[in-house]
A and B are shown apart, each in its own frame.
Chain A
Amino acid sequence: MAKYIVKRILTMIVMIFVISFVIFVALQNTGVDPVAQSLGVDNYSAETAAAIREKLGLNDPLIVQFFRWWGNIFKGDFGYSIANGYSIKDGVLAKWPATLEITLWALVISTIIGIGVGMLSAFWQNSIIDYLGRAIAVLGNSMPEYFFALVLIQIFSIKLGLLPSAGRIPVEGSRIPNLILPIAALAIPLCGNLMRYTRNTMLDVANQEYVKLARSKGIPEWKVYFKHIFRNSMRPVITILLFRLTILVGGSVAVETVFAWPGVGIVLTQAITASDYPVVMFYTLFMAVMMLSISFLIDLLGAVIDPRVRLEK
């Protein structure tokens, strides 16, 4: 087991290195000159540009620059935005809590409702709750979240005047009303998929031989349901949920835009509009590290749950 973990961690480090190198090289070939960009048209002259280039070490070979960039990252220096000159560490990471606030809630709420309704609709198949759950799932699947967000604003902010349509911190009063619509816009599409998935896995498991065996042994129905069906169908569901953790880092770009929510998604869209490559690069690296950690977590969990995986590696 220890050997397996060490091997996985080593692969992960290598992959982060490879990904960062690809990003780094891609960055060099975008055709945007960061020095000219940061100087602006008014201050630009060939001499100052050359001086800055020399000072920043931009004339060194690519590989030297690459390792210097990594060295800086280890020192906690992530570089600066070309467009606004803010330090990336503060600029991007400081916005993360705002994103987390809506994405985390959306994940928690959608998980509870999704699994709950999914279970119920597997239990009472073809009941009203089953049809309702399926309708929501279908709707959530076919509605882009930003369009859904617009509809929510139209109904709850404009027509009914109940909830604020934008912003994170109101001038006065509680912040909770500001949270409701963005979280709903994120959570409902997530809910739908999870419902359908939970329902189908549970029905699959319910048709397995060992469930029939348990029933024929005379084990009470509720016990069959929780001990045999529910527990065994949660494994694939948990995998799905783990994959969803990436939403925490940036699954809310479109929703943030609609609700003028000051999170990392807005930072990213602004950075792309302004060709602010250091920011995009940092963001990508941040995402990649998150993704790989999650996939590591999933593998690890798989190995813990299922001994066959452990033996194979």
Chain B
Amino acid sequence: MENNNKTNTIENARKYGTKLWKKKVRKFLNNKLAVFGLSVVLIYILLMVLAPVVTPWDPLEPNFKVKLAGPSAEHLLGCDSLGRDLFSRVLYGGRTSVLIAVISSLIGSAIGTVLGAIGGYFGGIFDKLLVRLQEIVSCFPQLILVLIVVAFIGTGTWNLIIIFALTGWTGCFRLVRSEFIARKEETYVKVCEAFGMSSVKIMFSQILPAVLTTVIVQLTMNIPGYVMQEAGLSFLGFGVPMTVPTWGTMLNAAKATNILINYPHCWLVPGAAICLFVLAVNFFGDGLRDVMDPRQQ
């Protein structure tokens, strides 16, 4: 009898769980902008992953016969000043740009989450220091801060990721910290403490899972910012080396006055690729937040 009751409860929980999940999916699908965002992001990913199949052109192979050529059936989006196919460069360059953004966002969020958990849970002087540090880092205009760090560490793909992670942890830190401050007073945490569970275990196996959705949303929302920063830095000449195609280095390559004025497709293509991607991820992230945020239920 008792056993029966137990299975019933579990089944109910499972049923309710799937129901909630279905409800969330339905809510997301009802949000047209979010669905649009997700579809565009998926198309981007598909095209970038299948780049060798989608386009026959090598992104690094110059061909002076088609130097600065406009869009045509052969070269869908035209060619740059060295005659490299722009469509192919957008796809291969997108791989690097997006990968940099995603890795930076992952590392940055991890740093922010761990620091936020520690600061929020323990409080005290360490927390105060972290909050001050966060204040300074998040106050600086992002590009300036990154530029200053570039001046000290130097440029290059991996340096860029390190810099982005070091300067981009503050959003996650704030969110996780405030969640931890609120949740550490809750009964289930008090119970764990009374049972003598270690602080680390309480923080990471009891409180963190409840906060994780917030972190995931924040992580997604950080990605567009990194894409734009990579492009900005590379555009100014402090990002990824010019030999590596990214959306930023493509913009940089189109910076010469002659190209800017007479061959706008050279910078319009990477610029539009950035805008559309950023727009799509923003829409998707907004939709995700609406669905995942427990306060919205």
- A sample of 19 more A-B contacts (CB under 8 A), given A147-B251, A272-B150, is A15-B136, A138-B279, A142-B282, A144-B228, A144-B274, A146-B235, A147-B267, A147-B271, A151-B271, A153-B260, A243-B139, A251-B144, A253-B147, A257-B236, A269-B147, A269-B236, A269-B237, A277-B151, A280-B148
Who on chain A is nearest to B224 by CB? A142
B260, A150: Cβ atoms closer than 8 Å: yes
User: In whole Å, how far is A253's beta carbon from the nearest beta carbon of chain B?
Assistant: 6
**A284–B147 alpha-carbon span in the complex (Å):** 10
Interface size class of B (residues with CB under 8 A): 20 to 34
Q: How far is the CA of A91 from the CA of B148 in the complex (A)?
A: 18
Which of A147, A154, A254, A284 interacts with B148 by CB under 8 Å? A284
Q: Does any Cβ of B come within 8 Å of A9's Cβ?
A: no
Q: Does A247 contact B (CB under 8 A)?
A: yes
**B275–A246 touching, CB < 8 Å:** no
Q: Is A132 part of the contact surface with B, judged by Cβ < 8 Å? A: no
Task: Tell me the bound Cα distance from A243 to B142 in angstroms.
Answer: 12
Taking beta carbons and an 8 Å cutoff, which residues of B are in contact with A? 132, 135-136, 139-141, 143-144, 147-148, 150-152, 224, 228, 231-232, 235-238, 251, 260-261, 264, 267, 271, 274-275, 278-279, 282
- B140-A141 in contact (CB<8A): no
Task: Say yes or no: B279 contacts A142, CB within 8 Å.
Answer: yes
Residues of A within 8 A of B148 (CB): 280, 283-284, 287
Residues from 212 to 243 in A contacting B, C-beta threshold 8 Å: 243
Point out the residues of chain B lying under 8 angstroms from A271, CB to CB: 151
- Identify B231's interface contact among A144, A257, A269, A277, CB under 8 A: A144
Q: A142–B143 Cα gap in the complex (Å)?
A: 16
- Contact check, B152 vs A250: say whether CB atoms are below 8 A apart: no
Report the minimal beta-carbon distance from A209 to chain B, rounded to whole angstroms: 18
Give bound CA distance, A303 to B171, whole Å: 24
8 cross-chain CB contacts under 8 A: A141-B282, A142-B282, A147-B267, A153-B260, A154-B264, A158-B261, A251-B143, A251-B144
In the complex, the answer to whether A280 meets B143 with C-beta atoms within 8 Å is no
Interface stretch among A52-60, A70-78, A107-115, A291-299?
Answer: A291-299
**Does A143 reach chain B (CB closer than 8 Å)?**
yes
**B233 (CB) vs chain A CBs: closest residue:** A254
Which residues of the other chain, A, contact B139 by a CB distance below 8 angstroms? 243, 246, 291, 294-295
A146 to B275 alpha-carbon distance, docked (Å) = 12
Asked if A100 lies at the interface with its beta carbon under 8 angstroms from chain B, I say: no
Closest beta carbon of chain B to A184's beta carbon, Å: 17
B contact residues around A257 at 8 Å (CB): 235-236
Tell me if A150 and B267 are in contact (CB < 8 A). yes
In the complex, residue of chain A having the shortest beta-carbon distance to the beta carbon of B286: A138
What is the CB-to-nearest-CB distance from A129 to chain B, in angstroms, rounded to a whole number?
19
Alpha-carbon distance between A1 and B264 when the two chains are bound, in angstroms: 58
Assembly CA distance A287 to B147 (angstroms): 13
Q: Does the CB pair A26–B152 fall under 8 Å?
A: yes
Known: A147-B275, A150-B271. A280 touches B235 (CB 8 A): no
